[in-house]
Amino acid sequence: MQSEYSSLFDLALEACEHSYAPYSKFRVGAALLCEDGSVITGVNVENRSYGLTICAERNAIAAAITAGKKKFKALVIATPDADYPVSPCGACRQVISEFMPPSAPVVFGNSQNSYMTSSVGELLPHDALHELAGELGE
């Protein structure tokens, strides 16, 4: 893994230890690099009503917003219980695109040796939000 994301992956992996995944046994941790250099982590929190489960990515973003941070540089996601790198779900992709520019890197993997690097724009192509924001001058 690229050295700049290696420490973020370690933080995401460490966060997995706090995951609440009694049903799927599929832990997920996320490390969100904020524009100011701070890192906010999140974990998946399952519920027996699966639709109420909160993904690690959205949990990290919500925690960052709660801490007053709204600009992010990169997101790293660890899925140590998977056999391969697992990308963010559709709901997470939508939330990620709300707060990160299309060029922002998103790294996801099950280990330091098995990961993929993408961008927000590659994960959610043809995202009208950024086009709309440009038209509104935001």
What positions carry a catalytic annotation?
A: 57
119: left (phi over 0), alpha (psi -120 to 50) or beta: beta
DSSP state of 110: E
Q: Which residues of 106-120 are buried (b: 16+ CB within 10 A; e: fewer)?
A: bbbbbeeeebebbbb
The Cα–Cα gap between 41 and 31 comes to: 4
125: left (phi over 0), alpha (psi -120 to 50) or beta: beta
